[in-house]
Structure 1
Amino acid sequence: MDDFSPSDLKTILHSKRANIFYLEYCRVMQKDGRVLYLTEANKENLYFNIPIANTTVILLGNGTSITQAAMRMLAQAGVLVGFSGGGGTPLYMANNVEHAIEWMTPQSEYRPTEYLQGWVSFWFDAEKRLEAGKQIQTARIEYLTQVWQKDKDLKQNGFDITANTIKSALQTFSTRNQKATQNSELLLTEAQLTKTLYKYAANNTKLENFTRQHQGSTKQHTDKANDFLNHGNYLAYGLAATTLWVLGIPHGFAVMHGKTRRGALIFDIADLIKDALVLPWAFISAMENATEQEFRQQILQAFTDHKALDFMFEQVKQIALGENHEANE
């Protein structure tokens, strides 16, 4: 432990880190200067190393505990830690808890302030907030187009960016997005596009009678699609939360979802990648009757292949500074 300093543990930029961990039924601890998780199998204790310098998010699910020493090392490495329900997805309860996940961010008084200052310089102006929302939505479509054009696996599963349904939906979305004069119009346009994409994906993967539900079971394939959408979206929220924390922008400075969700800037930024990656793979995995672990591995690989975290950093920086910006986090 004495051989490392916080600066040593942050040598990999957050936008370049490869790992997101979801852990359950284990104990996370510090041992010999490393962060490990301990599981029990066949009356045997098994230790597994967590490469914290190359990790962005750790989600602790059912049956987990973590030591103070482990949290100290995770904080030094700038790893975002969250507690969640089973599978990393939210729990909806009768006591009005919005979702059963709580992010614990490492405390640092020395993060750069330029992105926060850039963000608040426009945030209090409603028209400029609207323009930032439009910029996010435009980038969202550009990313979807780029990913669907490039990804051979998506093409093989019928996700074709040149399909008439998709071309028409994207064109309508772009036109309405640019003409929007208030935030409610952006949200309505977003909802209409997502509904069209759900229908296209369900038809494409032969999942009949699909209805979007934010609480689902795995009894039917259509319910599996909902479960995978929920799971994948929360992984995207983890990437968004990491991006905003590293750049020092509070989650309350939303540009679209602020009136409906607390900490809603996470939802705004996650929108950049959800349709391009989470949506198609949720339906493909449901069609293939994949397990939750198989879906998680697939979607995390897709995040890496298409540099989702890099893309989030780039877009947030551009909005904050009002220009292309290549500076390190």
Structure 2
Amino acid sequence: MDYLTDLKAILHSKRANIYYLEKCRVMQKDGRVLYLTEEKVEKQYWNIPIANTTCILLGTGTSITQAAVRMLASAGVLIGFSGSGGTPLLAANEVEWLSPQSEYRPTEYIQGWMQFWFDDHKRFLAGQAIQRLRIQYMQRVWTSDRDLRGEGFNADDEDIRHALQRFNQRIDESKNITELLLTEAKLTKALYKIAANRTKQTDFVRQHDSVDDANAFLNHGNYLAYGLAATTLWVLGIPHGFAVLHGKTRRGALVFDVADLIKDTLILPWAFICAKEGATEQEFRQQCLQNFTSHKALDFMFDSVKQLSKGDF
């Protein structure tokens, strides 16, 4: 049965929903994908609008039926298994994605990507382009977002402006991928310091296995960004192993490259803001998803990857 015949197609870049589910069972029932929760009194079914969903993260205590996977695949929804809160229990930098199988994805983008990827210099130029796009997006969002400006994250502030200008200069001065990655790490470290000062968390140290709220929110939000990146690449038909920055030896490294386009802009400041306000994990997640929608994160990722695949560095 072709489930797509009953679905109204929505472009992946325009889809609104990312689901994180735990302690439930995902199943197909009456032509729909539902998740079942066990309440004290009765079982409750909740519908998942798959035609408007980009990816589903299954946390602890979840199960999924074969029929549900088949229907999700037909709608082009990515499925991921993760630990509690969207963060893996064992591996800090990997999510195991189950990609829907489709032979009707476009070929032009992977063909364009391959035209430059085997050339070390062109791959380096693509890495520089990703970093420039990342800064342009941050400047645009941090200038226009009223809530962020109210919390002190304004791209026109002197310390932020100088940090971004210095980063742009170092991008141009970088001679290879190693130098570019080092420059990127210095920018992120500078942004952590700025965010910690803005939210009066001056003792912050970035540690992936730390239990403080800011670190936990950064981990959680980054995995949401990885979900968007994986969706973008799958829809455009570009395998995750063809990275330009994070190394050719890491199988999913291109996911991290594409996620970098939005991570520091949309995840980093709100991780610190929500930690300061004592927000719950769910409240932080809702804030991230709202940011993705209001600032058209998927649109930006799609446009950026398409631009790179055309060799427009």
TM-score, normalized by the shorter chain, greater than 0.5: yes
Q: 1:32-71 maps to which residues of 2 (within 5 A)?
A: 32-71=30-69
Residue 323 of structure 1: how far off its partner (Å):
4.6
1:276 is aligned to 265
- State which of 187, 206, 210 in structure 1 corresponds to 2:204: 210
- State which of 107, 111, 118 in structure 2 corresponds to 1:117: 111
1:58, 1:80 within 8 Å by CA — same for their partners in 2? yes
SS in 2 for 1:35: strand
1:169 is aligned to 163
1:294 is aligned to 283
> Is the counterpart of residue 232 in structure 1 residue 230 in structure 2?
no
> Is the counterpart of residue 249 in structure 1 residue 238 in structure 2?
yes
1:91, 1:100 within 8 Å by CA — same for their partners in 2? no
Provide the rounded CA distance (Å) in 1 between the counterparts of 2:5 and 2:135: 37
**Aligned AA for 1:141?**
I
1:154 is aligned to 148
Residue 51 of structure 1: how far off its partner (Å):
0.1
**Aligned AA for 1:9?**
L
1:190 is aligned to 184
Q: Percent identity?
A: 68
Residue 64 of structure 1: how far off its partner (Å):
0.2
1:327 is aligned to none
Residue 211 of structure 1: how far off its partner (Å):
0.0
SS in 1 for 2:244: coil
SS in 2 for 1:272: coil
Residues 149-204 of structure 1: per-residue CA shift (max 9 Å, x gap): 11000011111211111111111100110121100011011000000000000000
TM-score (norm 2): 0.97
Residue 260 of structure 1: how far off its partner (Å):
6.2
Structure 2: stretches of 5+ with no match in the other structure: none
1:35, 1:50 within 8 Å by CA — same for their partners in 2? yes
> Is the counterpart of residue 27 in structure 1 residue 16 in structure 2?
no
1:257, 1:265 within 8 Å by CA — same for their partners in 2? yes
1:57, 1:238 within 8 Å by CA — same for their partners in 2? yes
Residues 19-55 of structure 1: per-residue CA shift (max 9 Å, x gap): 0000000000000000000001113100000000000
1:200 is aligned to 194
1:88 is aligned to 86
1:91, 1:99 within 8 Å by CA — same for their partners in 2? no
1:220 is aligned to none
SS in 2 for 1:181: coil
SS in 2 for 1:209: coil
Provide the rounded CA distance (Å) in 1 between the counterparts of 2:5 and 2:132: 36
2:293 is aligned to 304
1:133 is aligned to 127
**Aligned AA for 1:109?**
E
Residue 104 of structure 1: how far off its partner (Å):
0.1
Residue 79 of structure 1: how far off its partner (Å):
0.1
Structure 1: stretches of 5+ with no match in the other structure: 218-222, 325-329
Residues 196-253 of structure 1: per-residue CA shift (max 9 Å, x gap): 0000000000113000011121xxxxx1000000000000000000000000000000
Residues 120-171 of structure 1: per-residue CA shift (max 9 Å, x gap): 0100000000000011000000000000011000011111211111111111
Count of residues in correspondence between the two structures: 313
Residue 259 of structure 1: how far off its partner (Å):
4.7
1:163–1:98 distance in 2 versus 1, CA, 3 Å: closer
2:112, 2:309 within 8 Å by CA — same for their partners in 1? yes
Residues 254-295 of structure 1: per-residue CA shift (max 9 Å, x gap): 000025633100000000001111000000000000000000
Provide the rounded CA distance (Å) in 2 between the counterparts of 1:211 and 1:42: 41
2:71 is aligned to 73
Structure 1 stretches of 4+ with a deviation exceeding 2 A read 4-10, 97-101, 259-262
SS in 2 for 1:253: coil
TM-score (norm 1): 0.92
Residues 89-132 of structure 1: per-residue CA shift (max 9 Å, x gap): 1223xxxx565631000011221110000000100000000000
1:123, 1:253 within 8 Å by CA — same for their partners in 2? yes
Provide the rounded CA distance (Å) in 2 between the counterparts of 1:323 and 1:17: 26
Provide the rounded CA distance (Å) in 2 between the counterparts of 1:153 and 1:124: 43
Provide the rounded CA distance (Å) in 2 between the counterparts of 1:160 and 1:171: 14
